[in-house]
Amino acid sequence: MRRSMLGRLAVAACSLSLLTAFAPAAVGADGGSSAAGGSGRSYKKVGYFTQWGVYGRDFQVQDLDANGSAGKLTHINYAFGNVSAEGKCFTGNIPGEADAWADYARPLDAANSVDGVADTWDQPLAGNFNQLRELKAKHPGLKVLISLGGWSWSTHFSDAALTPASRKAFVESCIDLYIKGNLPQDGTRGGAGAAAGVFDGIDLDWEWPGSAGDTDTKYRPEDKRNFTELVKEFRTQLDAYARSQKKRSTYELTAFVPTAPAKIDAGFDVRRIMRDLDFVNLQGYDFHVSGEPKTAQQSALYARGDFSVHGTVEAWQRRGAPAHKLVMGMPFYGQGWTGVSGGGDGLGQPATGPAPATWAAGYEDYKALKKLADSGAYQVHRDRRGGHAWLFDGTTLWTYDDPQVLRAKTGYIREQGLGGAMFWSLDADTADGELMTAVDRGLRGR
């Protein structure tokens, strides 16, 4: 997967020693129409759709319509777009770097198409991009953003943001490719304007400006200033293009941002970037990960002296971020350990390593964890005050969010006046969209 879990685990282990008491920190990472919340306001519901999920997981865009999620979302973030060594947005069929086949070349049959019509051999746009276009047509008001970077593809962000000239060229390339939709020709697919209208904005997922991310990701002390200027450049060019098209609304600009105060301070001039960003998606997960030697919560709402969602919200607000622009990240997956010893409920105990799982050791989709919980082989444990849950069978432990936890978190969003909820990732939900439904109902105050 593009968000390399192994890389995130290594960073997690190194980051733990930097914690100070009560400081939240990040160690690893990194809905059609708006629904009114209980207070009468609207909340954002932002779900990441993974490019590679159409393969092994066989999760297609059409599944978002079939399971009811599309009607509950306000935004879909398409993960991911990559940045080249030359500092440009690009695509192509390059293993490990780009997948134009999934994006816009792969034909879908009628059963897997949102509109129920099979793709033809000569249509300029197919693949995920065409399905997203069809989904938007069926759910007016649903917005789709291209998310740039991610854990594995933030490699060249620092270079792209380095100078005024490089920033200008980088932003121009991203707008040309994704907003104007000028795709490279791939047989009968692609061409000028082929993907026009698919994307309604850009999500910046640079992990992380000014501090370490994946092993090959460059970072510099000046990244903080350069990220601020990059955000401004995106805002300027997006607004200018909207005006040139006589577009009534602007293109949206968002960012995925970290939990750790040290990472926030190293890479984010909070007050300045929040002027140009429509909102930010807060890392609300991977507070602890399965590469650590002891089991721990990964996404607690409250955790005294440890990472927490509440601590993340406070960290951003203390630095000048307005509450209504803070969108809380929630995991649709769990972190797991095996070889857990020490007895009790398993939390905070030594473990021998990441738990075996379907796609990557120590990382499992919620739909699989729900089956474990329903099987009776695992006991569900809850910290009701802390707002988190875990499964334990005496040997293996999984920390995760279920509908009960998400109800507590959506209540917190409403109480704190936050902007809404974000989830990684939509393909990990159940076939009937159980977690998406819980978030939607919770934000409605139901």
pLDDT value for 224: 98
What confidence tier does 380 reach under pLDDT thresholds 50, 70, 90? very high
406 has a pLDDT exceeding 50: yes
pLDDT value for 139: 98
Q: Cα(181)–Cα(196) distance, rounded to whole angstroms?
A: 4
What average pLDDT does the segment 318-346 reach? 98
pLDDT value for 446: 87
Mean pLDDT of the chain: 92
Contact 426, 57 (CB under 8 A): no
Per-residue tokens: 94:
């390059």
Q: Cα(389)–Cα(420) distance, rounded to whole angstroms?
A: 21
pLDDT value for 18: 30
Q: Work out the number of other CB atoms within 10 angstroms of the CB of residue 342.
A: 12
DSSP 352-394: SEEPP-SSBTTEEEHHHHHHHHHHTSSEEEEETTTTEEEEE-S
pLDDT value for 72: 98
25 has a pLDDT exceeding 80: no
Q: Cα(429)–Cα(436) distance, rounded to whole angstroms?
A: 7
What confidence tier does 38 reach under pLDDT thresholds 50, 70, 90? very low
Q: What does the pLDDT look like over 246-299, one tens digit per residue?
A: 988 899 999 999 999 999 999 999 999 999 999 999 999 999 999 999 999 999
What confidence tier does 14 reach under pLDDT thresholds 50, 70, 90? very low
Q: Cα(352)–Cα(174) distance, rounded to whole angstroms?
A: 44
Q: Coil, strand, or helix at residue 25?
A: coil
pLDDT value for 12: 41
Q: Cα(178)–Cα(236) distance, rounded to whole angstroms?
A: 16
What confidence tier does 394 reach under pLDDT thresholds 50, 70, 90? very high
pLDDT value for 13: 36
What confidence tier does 87 reach under pLDDT thresholds 50, 70, 90? very high
Q: What does the pLDDT look like over 182-241, one tens digit per residue?
A: 999 999 999 999 999 999 999 999 999 999 999 999 999 999 999 999 999 999 999 999
Q: What does the pLDDT look like over 417-443, one tens digit per residue?
A: 999 999 999 999 999 999 999 999 999
207 is catalytic: yes
Q: What does the pLDDT look like over 163-173, one tens digit per residue?
A: 999 999 999 99
4 has a pLDDT exceeding 80: no
What average pLDDT does the segment 139-156 reach? 98
CATH of domain 5-332+402-443: 3.20.20.80
pLDDT value for 249: 86
pLDDT value for 141: 94
CA 225 to chain centre: 24
27 has a pLDDT exceeding 80: no
- The terminus-to-terminus CA distance of the chain in angstroms comes to 35
Quote the pTM value.
0.92
Residue of 207, 252, 292, 364 marked catalytic: 207
Domain ranges of the chain: 5-332+402-443
Q: What does the pLDDT look like over 47-86, one tens digit per residue?
A: 999 999 999 999 999 999 999 999 999 999 999 999 999 9
**Shortest CA distance to 225 belongs to which of 277, 280, 272?**
272
